[in-house]
Amino acid sequence: MNLSSALERTKRDFLVTNQYLDNLVNFFEKEAREGLQKDSERSLPMLPSFVTQIPNGSEKGLFLAADLGGSNFRVCSVHLNGDRSHELKQMKWRVPNETMKGSAAKFWTYLAKCIQDFLTEHHPEQSSFELDGNSYLKMGFTFSFPIRQTALNSGTLIRWTKGYAIEDAVGTDVCESLQTAVRALNLPVDVVAIVNDTVGCLLARSYETGSSAQTLVGCILGTGTNAAYSEKISRIPKLATYDSVPKSAKVMVVNTEWGSFDNNVKFLPNTEYDQALDLMTPNPRFHMFEKRVSGMFLGEILRRVLESFLKKGTIFTSAKTSLRKDADILTPWSIDTSFLSYSAADGSSDLTGIQQELTKIGISDSSLEERQAVKEICHVVALRSARLVAGIIAGLLKMTKAFEKFEVVDIGMDGAIIEFYPHYEEMVREALRSLRFVGANEKRITIGISRDGSGIGAALCAAMAG
């Protein structure tokens, strides 16, 4: 097959039509409602967060936040000033590969030691072992993996995602495990709340906007993807089987874990590249939506397309003979999602930016036609991600009757994809406009990047834990 026919086929493979998206909205709504009814292993988790208050900007005090995401562990102290503003101090570590896949004991000790280093550096007054319990700092723990919570300060890990694989941590209480490791080092810290990053994002955005706008959804588009939203307790039937829901509570933030939307792939696009990629992940057959959308996967999808073109002799014909066996283009997980961002940002007539990126993955020479093809492939992979996200956001807005209830529908977002992929938000918005359910209402949606969402959100949760 020649390059232009292969390219046309790939464009078709990644196409997400308007009609498909209209159906996706309804399919998502159905899965989400089922998830609110009961827990089951393969359905959309829709996890209760036990957060029953939405901040209004007046919260005050000094709190600690620990934040474990896809690649980094961050510890912050957040001073909430009570006027929608805050001050934040932070330190960040890249979690070593062996810690991401080793034993639970080593993992929790590693996190506790980072917290110790942070206190020594930024709050020496709080690193004293002599402090009595009343002077302990309250910590909110943002844990960006699916957990089944039973209270604000208790939740067991359902499964790892995003490259973590610490088997003996699955099924254990993550809040208690961190607290035990922190106590073992004698740190004056009480871990009072555990919170998903999307819940943190929703709370942080609500704190920042204050009572001026109601934030309905907190959404992460980074290494992984997910969203949380605020739901009426009366619409969460499965909560009846959980203890510890405050009697006075009317709403609860629900962590959808939409990365696990359509795990059975009844509906999601399923190219040969998606199927092969799934088999290479630590959690095959789970988080199937995430594997088509988020930062951890887009680079690898691109690599698989390029590798397949290369092996069939469709692209990089002149570079092929000198290609090293260990070149990144031939090595799973070696193309970073930033490749797609650079490609989208390259507006030069001869696409020199793309050539620089190609050189890094082992292709030192390419024709303009080949670089144009690379640009198009990057575009269709990213566009599919943005359009799927739009469909699922619309599903959430439909389920919550957002356009009927609110004049302005505010969404907080965070993560490298939304922040760094050029025009990603515009691609999402365009898809929203094309949906029957949204159409002109797209103008009523505000999207705000909530940069320190996980840190501030965890601090707010610690504040609410009382």
Q: Which residues here bind ligand BGC, judged by CB under 6 A?
A: 69-70, 144-146, 161-162, 196-198, 220, 222, 224-226, 257, 259, 290
Closest among 76, 98, 100 to 86, alpha carbons compared:
76
> Which residue number has the CB closest to ligand BGC?
224
Query: Considering 67, 173, 190, 197, which one is annotated as catalytic?
Result: 197
What tokens appear for 413 in the block? 């977002």
Nearer to ligand BGC, 144 or 341 (CB): 144
Output b/e per residue, 191-223; b: 16+ Cβ within 10 A. bbbbbbbbbbbbbbbbbbbeeebbbbbbbbbbb
Q: In the complex, what is the shortest distance from the CB of residue 27 to ligand BGC, in angstroms, rounded to a whole number?
A: 20
What tokens appear for 33 in the block? 């409602």
Q: In the complex, what is the shortest distance from the CB of residue 290 to ligand BGC, in angstroms, rounded to a whole number?
A: 6
Is 414 considered catalytic here?
Answer: no
Q: In the complex, what is the shortest distance from the CB of residue 131 to ligand BGC, in angstroms, rounded to a whole number?
A: 33
Q: In the beta sheet, which residues pair with residue 251?
A: 232
Nearer to ligand BGC, 28 or 145 (CB): 145
Q: Are 16 and 384 in contact (CB under 8 A)?
A: yes
Nearer to ligand BGC, 188 or 224 (CB): 224
Query: Which runs of E-coded beta strand occur in 288-406?
Result: none
What tokens appear for 145 in the block? 């993996």
Nearer to ligand BGC, 198 or 341 (CB): 198
Q: In the complex, what is the shortest distance from the CB of residue 364 to ligand BGC, in angstroms, rounded to a whole number?
A: 35
Residue 264: CB atoms within 10 A of its CB come to 11
Residue 44: CB atoms within 10 A of its CB come to 23
Q: In the complex, what is the shortest distance from the CB of residue 245 to ligand BGC, in angstroms, rounded to a whole number?
A: 21
Nearer to ligand BGC, 292 or 371 (CB): 292
Q: In the complex, what is the shortest distance from the CB of residue 434 to ligand BGC, in angstroms, rounded to a whole number?
A: 26
Dihedral-angle region of residue 82 (phi above 0 means left; psi in -120 to 50 means alpha; beta otherwise): left
Query: Considering 144, 206, 366, 454, which one is annotated as catalytic?
Result: 144
Q: Are 352 and 311 in contact (CB under 8 A)?
A: no
What tokens appear for 429 in the block? 């918005």
Is 144 considered catalytic here?
Answer: yes
Closest among 59, 448, 35, 36 to 236, alpha carbons compared:
36
Nearer to ligand BGC, 309 or 421 (CB): 421
In whole angstroms, how large is the CA radius of gyration of the chain? 23
Is 9 considered catalytic here?
Answer: no
Listed in sequence order, the residues at least 6 apart from 227 whose beta carbon sits closer than 8 Å to its beta carbon are 198, 217, 218, 219, 220, 256, 258, 392, 393, 396
Query: Considering 43, 49, 67, 159, which one is annotated as catalytic?
Result: 159
Nearer to ligand BGC, 224 or 455 (CB): 224
Q: Is 240 exposed, middle or buried (0-12, 13-18, 19+ CB in 10 A)?
A: exposed
Residue 140: phi and psi, rounded to 5, are -100, 140
* Residues composing the chain: 466
Q: In the complex, what is the shortest distance from the CB of residue 263 to ligand BGC, in angstroms, rounded to a whole number?
A: 12
The residues annotated with a catalytic role in the active site are: 144, 159, 197
